Amino acid sequence: MTALRALLRKELLVLFGSPMAYVALTLVVLVTGLIFFDHLRLYNQTLFLFASSNMGGFESDTVPDYINLRDTVFFPVMETLGITLIGLIPLVTMRVFAEERARGTDELLVTTALTPAQIVLAKFAVTYLFVTIMMLASFVYPAMAIIEGGIGAQHLASVFVGLSLHAIALASIGLACSAYTSNQLVAAVAGWAVGFVLWDFSWLSSFSFVGERSIAFLDAISLHLRYGSFAEGIVNLGHLVYFVALAALAAAIARFSFDWRRVAG
Amino acid sequence: MNEPADAAAGKRGGVAIEAQGLTRRFGPHVALDGLDLRIAPGEAFGLLGANGAGKTTFIRLVTGFLLPSAGTVTVDGMTAAADPAGVSARIGFVAETTRLYPELRVGTFLRFAGGARGLSGSRLEAQIDAGVARFQLESSLNRPLGHLSKGLQQRVNLAQAFLHDPPLLIVDEPTSGLDPLQQEEVRSVLRGLRGERTLILCTHDLGEARELTERVAVLSRGKLVACGPTREVLSGADPLALFRGENASAA
């Protein structure tokens, strides 16, 4: 436990001691803000058009029900945020293992009392913490849309859990990719590729050679379906298990990289 | 001169490191080919060879960073595969200078290195104080590693390897990339270690090997081409012939 504590502390110091952490946090807040305010602008314009198209001027009862903060701002923001995170999270995870390999400090780690499982655990835990902080920062705007849109605290909690789990799933994928290379760019590109492929498989249904069973299976493993469910305020045990299983699988893959390196060199 | 690789170890009694038929392949490339070697406790042992001779591969097999393709290597009778904790407790490893965390301060790094080896509380602080005093790092404790000269970085590297007081110190190319003053600085530290604990010095610098080791093994293309007392092995007309893989009689 002493060794694990020491590594956790080192990981936190290295992460928050580098400007990358603050650049990533700022980037997330900026991008989320841009997405939110862009949708809010569109909502206001639509509202204005509907209201002003009526001879009576600005009368709120002339606006159709589907033009509301929830459907016009919140859901599109969450959808765009989900895709944006696929692009952003690998930028955070790419250095975690790859940098140790590039610097050669992984050799130092292996000659300490730390086991590969502890190294993976510490790196995953610190990355999850950072990603959760990122999500807290990026959640301010969607939360405003929910509160102003009249959605309750339970829904708010569900959305935050979904957003965090989605980010953690992407971080897990990124970490597993980072564990197999010493090149941070390769780690980032691999993280993006796996993230985008896992996001949504519905486009495959347009191909006749893909069977219904295959589509059902691919839908079951897609991130979009799970994430969308949380955004609608549905906390399903199956979805929670999906995210936990994905994180566990990624951690196991990262752990295996140590054995693989000992054999392959 | 080309004495059996285990003769000196036998004379001293006990074995710190023993390799038997140690082989490591990377695909079709054989980095280490059936190495038999014994290093006695307390011995200052040099591992010589040109770049790519298999020195670093041997060290990585000893520390458990790599697994052998065939054969075994033991540290005090333990293999890194079967007892990684036991092996790591006995080894202090000093890699090349760049293998540190440039963003960490010296004190923070030493605290991490000690903690990662299971030290905590007053013992950790005492070991850090001892290391800082021994390697004269008092004035650098609060400086980030990335701001230190390479010579100072290497002293930090040595200090971290001593924190858990290991009986075996493995030093890989300790003066690589250092200027002559820094090289002398590091060599004087290593000179002070002779006889104190087992030292394995991995180098391609013959002068360094002559100065710091009692016995050397020369590797060429993964094979042991000479092993014996340093003065004898390196006293020939052309010691570099060994690096080229020519047999011991060439030297």
Q: Which residue has better confidence, A166 or A60?
A: A166
Confidence of residue B250 (pLDDT cuts 50, 70, 90): very low
Q: CB distance A112–B88 less than 8 Å?
A: yes
pLDDT of residue A32: 87
Q: What is the mean pLDDT of residues B204-233?
A: 89
What is the mean pLDDT of the segment spanning A149-165?
82
Task: Report CA A113 to chain centroid distance, whole Å.
Answer: 33
Distance CA A177, CA A21 (A): 19
- Which domain does B80 fall in, by range? 7-101+164-250
Question: Tell me: the pLDDT tens digits for A110-125?
Answer: 889 999 999 999 999 9
pLDDT value at position B1?
47
* Of B123, B128, B135, the residue nearest B113 (C-alpha): B128
**Whole-angstrom Cα distance, residue A3 to residue B120?**
9
Residue B86 has pLDDT above 80, yes or no: yes
Does B30 score more than 90 pLDDT? yes
Q: Is residue B152 part of a domain?
A: no
Instruction: Give the pLDDT confidence score for residue A224 in this predicted structure.
Output: 86
- What are the chain A neighbours of B177 within 8 Å (beta carbons)? none
Residue contact B64–A111, C-beta within 8 A: yes
In a domain, B190, yes or no: yes
Name the token pair of B21. 């038929």
- Whether B83 is in a domain gets the answer yes
Query: Is residue A95's pLDDT more than 60?
Result: yes
Cα–Cα distance, B81 to A193 (Å, whole number): 35
Phi, psi (rounded to 5 degrees) for B238: -140, 80
Residue in A7, A107, A264 closest to B65 by CB: A107
Q: From residue B30, how far is each of A258, B122, B173, B222, B240 by CA, in Å?
A: 21, 47, 22, 7, 22
Question: Which of A41-55, A109-123, B140-154, B182-196 reaches the highest mean pLDDT?
Answer: A109-123
Q: Do B65 and A14 touch (CB under 8 A)?
A: no
Q: What percent of chain A shows pLDDT beyond 90?
A: 39
Split into its structural domains, chain B has a count of 1
The secondary structure of B138-159, three-state, reads HHHCCCEHHHCCHHHHHHHHHH
Sorted by sequence, the CB contacts under 8 Å of residue A51 that are 6+ apart come out as A57, A58, A59, A60, A62, A63
Euclidean distance between CA atoms A149 and B168, whole angstroms = 67
Q: Where are the domains of chain A?
A: 2-33+69-264
Residue A34 has pLDDT above 70, yes or no: yes
CATH number, position B43: 3.40.50.300
One DSSP character per residue, A158-218 reads HHHHHHHHHHHHHHHHHHHHHTT-S-HHHHHHHHHHHHHHHH--GGGGG-TTS-HHHHHHH
Task: Supply the pLDDT for residue B251.
Answer: 39
Q: What is the mean pLDDT of chain B?
A: 85
Altogether, the residues listed in chain B come to a count of 251
Determine what percent of chain A is predicted with pLDDT higher than 70.
94
Residue B25 maps to a domain: yes
**Predicted confidence band of residue B249 (pLDDT cuts 50, 70, 90):** very low
Chain B nearest-CA residue for A113: B117
Residue of B nearest to A4 (CA): B116
Question: What is the distance between the alpha carbons of residues A185 and A178, in angstroms, rounded to a whole number?
Answer: 9
Closest residue to B117, CB basis, from A107, A113, A115 = A113
Between residues A229 and A130, which one has the greater pLDDT? A130
Give the DSSP letter of residue B78: B
User: Is the CB of A10 less than 8 angstroms away from the CB of B26?
Assistant: no
CB-based contacts of B140, cutoff 8 Å, min separation 6: B106, B148, B152, B156
pLDDT at B240 > cutoff 80: no
On whether the CB atoms of residues A241 and A167 are closer than 8 A, the answer is no
Least confident of A101-110, B57-66, B171-180: B171-180
Query: Which residue of chain A has the CA closest to B66?
Result: A262
- Whether residues B63 and A7 touch (CB distance < 8 A) is answered with no
Q: Is residue B154 part of a domain?
A: no
Q: Please answer whether residues B199 and B169 qualify as being in contact, where contact means their C-beta atoms are separated by less than 8 angstroms.
A: yes
Residue B231 to chain A, least CA–CA distance (Å): 32
The candidate with the shortest Cα–Cα distance to A177, out of A227, A127, A110, is A127
Spatial contact of B46 and B203, defined as CB atoms under 8 Å apart: yes
What is the pTM assigned to this prediction? 0.86
Residue B47, pLDDT score: 93
HSE on the CB side for A152, CA within 13 Å? Answer: 3
Contact A17 B99 (CB under 8 A): no
Residue B25: beta bridge partners? B30
Q: Which residue has the higher pLDDT, A186 or B3?
A: A186
Q: Is residue A24 within 8 Å of A93, Cβ to Cβ? A: no
Residue A5 pLDDT exceeds 70: yes
Nearest CA in chain A to B107: A10
At residue A55, the pLDDT reads: 52
Three-state DSSP class for residue B172? strand
| Domain contains B84 | yes
User: Which is higher by pLDDT, B194 or B84?
Assistant: B84
Of B91, B98, B118, the CB nearest to A111: B91
Tell me the torsion sign for CA atoms A179, A180, A181, A182: positive
**pLDDT (mean) for B67-85:** 91
pLDDT category, A18, cuts 50, 70, 90? confident
Tens-digit pLDDT profile for residues B105-136: 999 999 999 999 999 999 999 999 999 998 88
> How would you classify residue A233: left for phi > 0, otherwise alpha for psi between -120 and 50, otherwise beta?
left
- Work out the average pLDDT over A84-88: 91
Q: Is residue B95 part of a domain?
A: yes
Question: Alpha-carbon distance A77 to A38, whole Å?
Answer: 9
The reply to whether residue B116 touches residue A105, judged by beta carbons under 8 angstroms, is no
B72 Cα to chain A: minimum distance (Å): 14
- Is a pLDDT exceeding 90 seen at residue A57? no
Q: Which residue of B has its CA nearest to A114?
A: B116
Strands lying side by side in the sheet with B91-94: B91-94, B168-172, B198-203, B44-48, B215-220, B223-229
When mean pLDDT is compared across A36-40, A142-146, A254-258, the lowest value belongs to: A142-146
Task: Answer whether A188's CB lies under 8 Å from A148's CB.
Answer: no
Residue A246 has pLDDT above 90, yes or no: yes
CA distance B124 to B113: 10
Q: What is the ipTM of this complex?
A: 0.84
